[in-house]
Each structure stands twice: as structure tokens, then as C-alpha cells.
Chains A and B, each alone.
Chain A
Amino acid sequence: MLHEALWDSCRDLAQACLDHPFVRGLADGTLDPAVFRDYVAQDAFYLRAFVKAYALALARCDEPAAAQAFHELIGGALQEIAMHRDYARTLGLDLDAVRPNAACLAYTDFLLATAWGRSLGEILAAMTPCMRLYAWLGQNLAAYAVPENPYRRWIETYSAPEFDRLAARIESLLDACAADSQEIRDAYRYAMECELRFFSAVMPPSG
């Protein structure tokens, strides 16, 4: 399956994300709340672009079944946005006033430039890494979702079977709509690189 080949080719980046001090901090609960606040703000900005990219992908589909799949995926992303709104309320963040950092802007510009101008397959290759990576990170962190961990809700969201189901949903769209090509591989890997840089932008690895 194409989605497995793409994921396997990016194992190095997935592992680098799992080993990232930001993700380690979520796991053991020691992440600086100010860093998490910054991350939530940037991720909320990112998710708005993600929803638009889904909509632009849906606009390229002729079959109602594909539209149904995107409808569910958009619903999932909107739920994440609602979760961020809850975080924002607790953290005193104004999500409408977020200015993207360089890594977030590069990632959202990549998603939107792809979504407006490239093929359905390339759009899906650009969007799948975010879903599969977060499901994989959540599942790897599931054992750390203990009551005293302040980041338990984040871990529970992404380790939930429902989130894995959404990741599998977009992967099956990718398999159906994309052929293995250099463009598809480039889009997938670049998105994975963007994920890693997204963590590093809020928490430099050396810091």
C-alpha cells in the first residue's frame, strides 16, 4: 500500500518527532506551560489552513463517497479546533490574533499552495503525515496519560481509536487517489519535515 511505503520512508522523521523534547515534555508532564501555550496558538493557526485544504481537496472529487470521507475528516479537524478553543480559554489566548512563526507559516503556505494548485493525490500526500504522525505519537504516549499529567487530554485525543480511524480514512483516500511518484514522495516527506520543524520552532532541540 502506498500509504505504508510513504510512512516507512519517513520513519527517521517520525522517530525524531517522538524523541523531540517537546513531545518528551508532554509525555512526562514537565513541558513548560508557556511553551505549550505557544504551541496551541500556532497549532490553531495551522488547523484553520488544514480545514481549508480539506475543502479544496473535496472540491476536486466527483464521487459522493469521497465527499463523505472529507466531510468526516473536516469534522475531525473542527473538533480539534474546538479543543484548542478550550485550551485557549484556560490559557488566556486570543486565537484570532495569532501571528504564525516561520515554521508554521512555511507549513501552512505549503498546504495551501498545494491545495489550490496541485493534484488531489499531492494534496492528500501533503495532509496525511499530520494525521498519521499525531495518531502514532498519541499511541506511543498512551501509557503516560496518567491523572497527574497536565497534558493528559492532549495524549488522550491523539491516542483515541477515533483519531486512528480518521488517519486510516485519509490514508485510504491517499491510496485510492495517488500513484507512487517523486511528487507524491516529496510532498509527504516535506510535510513530515514541517512537522518536526513545527515542534522545534516552539522548543529548540538544544534548549
Chain B
Amino acid sequence: MQQLSWSDSELILQAGDLWTEATRSPFLDAAADGTLPEDAFRRWLAQDYLFARGLTGYQAIALAKAPRDAHRVLIGGLVALDHELEWFETHAERRGILLDERPHPVCRAYVDFLMRSAYTQPWPVLAAILFGVEASYLAAWSRLSPSGPYAEFIERWSNEAFVHYVTDLAALARRYQHADAPEAFNQVLVYERDFWRMAWEG
């Protein structure tokens, strides 16, 4: 296994400014300094939960197409997603947030993009997409210091186990390359950018 950092990925480098746009947001800054409005937080939690549900389906189909040497990473990721969904459900219940909302058009378009890709794209493109989803989340949250009312959220997507997972995904995306991978990776970043915007602005 190569010990390159996940952030040295060619996919990230080719994305240029889009990478920065996808991983920084006033939403995140407000979460870090404790000024995030309650309604933005609730909207993000409900929509991110719906997204995680969709991602679970994506990952299951990706697993069915993946070569043997990718199984451990993908199955581990699915187990982590199951815990994440449970964690969302616990938080939502504690805060009285309903999780059966209609998906926002941005969330819906993002999940539809994932599912359409899962069904129609070859494994290397699916590996690049999954790396994009998780690496952008790691980059977005790990810039923040885990303190304040949302420390638990910041910690969840910047802890060492998550870094390890993203590093494994980077290695898979590096091992399995495809000419269509950069475009799919960039489309993930467009949706990440729009998702943060939606969470912040409504």
C-alpha cells in the first residue's frame, strides 16, 4: 500500500478552485465559532441524513462492481455508514428533528447523480466518486477545531479512523483510473458546494 497522503490525489489537484469551493462554507465557519443558526443546523441534519441514506445504496451497488481487493474498504465503509445513520437518528430524536422530510432539490439531484452513476458507470469511476464524496467531507470538517456546541460533529468527520478510510479510498482511486473519473469527481464537488450553500441559505 502506498503511503501517499490522500490530499496529494491527482483528482484533487486537477479540480482546481472547485475543490476549495466544495470544502469551505460560511455554514462550516459558523459551526466552528458557535454562531450557526438553529434552522440551518436542522436543515443540514435532515438533508444530510437523506443523503447518507442515498450514499448507502450507492456504495452497495459500487461494492457489487468492485474487484476483490476493494472489498474490505467498501464493506468497512458500509458498516460505518450504518453507524452514521443510527447516530443521525439519535441526534434527530434528541433535538426533535423529523427525518422523513422531502429531499431538497439539491440533495435529490446529488443522490440521483450517485445512483445513476452506480448503475451505469464502471468501477474505477465509482471509486473516484466515492473518494470525492468522503475526501471533500474530511477536508471541509477537518479545517475546524473541534470545540463549541458542534464539536461532536467536527470530530466525527475529522477523526483518525475517517482519515484512514479516506486514505484507503485515495489509494483505490489511484490504483483504478479511468478517463471519465475526473469529470465525475468534479461533479461531486459541484454538488458538495451546492449542498453547503443550500444548508446555509435554505
Q: Are B120 and A116 in contact (CB under 8 A)?
A: yes
A105 beta carbon closer than 8 Å to chain B: yes
Q: Are B105 and A109 in contact (CB under 8 A)?
A: no
Bound Cα distance from A110 to B112, whole angstroms: 5
- Nearest-CB residue, chain A, relative to B109: A106
Residues 152-193 of B contacting A (Cβ, < 8 Å) = 187, 190
Q: Are B113 and A117 in contact (CB under 8 A)?
A: no
Q: Are A106 and B108 in contact (CB under 8 A)?
A: yes
Bound Cα distance from A116 to B119, whole angstroms: 7
A193 beta carbon closer than 8 Å to chain B: yes
- Nearest-CB residue, chain A, relative to B54: A113
Q: Are B115 and A116 in contact (CB under 8 A)?
A: yes
Contacts of A102 in B (CB 8 A): 109, 190
- Nearest-CB residue, chain A, relative to B61: A117
Q: Which of A113, A186, A193, A197 contacts B112 (CB 8 A)?
A: A113
Bound Cα distance from A109 to B119, whole angstroms: 11
B95 beta carbon closer than 8 Å to chain A: no
Residues 103-144 of B contacting A (Cβ, < 8 Å) = 105, 108-109, 111-113, 115-116, 119-120
Q: Are A113 and B119 in contact (CB under 8 A)?
A: yes
Majority DSSP secondary structure for residues of A touching B: helix
A109-133 CB contact bits vs B (8 Å, 1 = yes)? 1101100110000000000000000
B94 beta carbon closer than 8 Å to chain A: no
Contacts of B187 in A (CB 8 A): 105
Contacts of B108 in A (CB 8 A): 106, 110, 190
Contacts of A117 in B (CB 8 A): 57, 115, 119
Q: Are B115 and A105 in contact (CB under 8 A)?
A: no
Bound Cα distance from A106 to B111, whole angstroms: 10
Residues 150-179 of A contacting B (Cβ, < 8 Å) = none
Bound Cα distance from A102 to B115, whole angstroms: 16
B102 beta carbon closer than 8 Å to chain A: yes
B136 CB to nearest chain A CB (Å): 18
Bound Cα distance from A116 to B120, whole angstroms: 9
Q: Which of B57, B102, B116, B190 contacts A109 (CB 8 A)?
A: B116
A/B interface sample: 5 pairs, CB < 8 A: A105-B113, A106-B108, A112-B116, A116-B116, A116-B119
Chain B residues with CB under 8 Å of chain A are: 57, 102, 105, 108-109, 111-113, 115-116, 119-120, 187, 190
List 3 A-B pairs, minimum CB-CB distance, nearest first: A106-B109, A113-B115, A116-B119
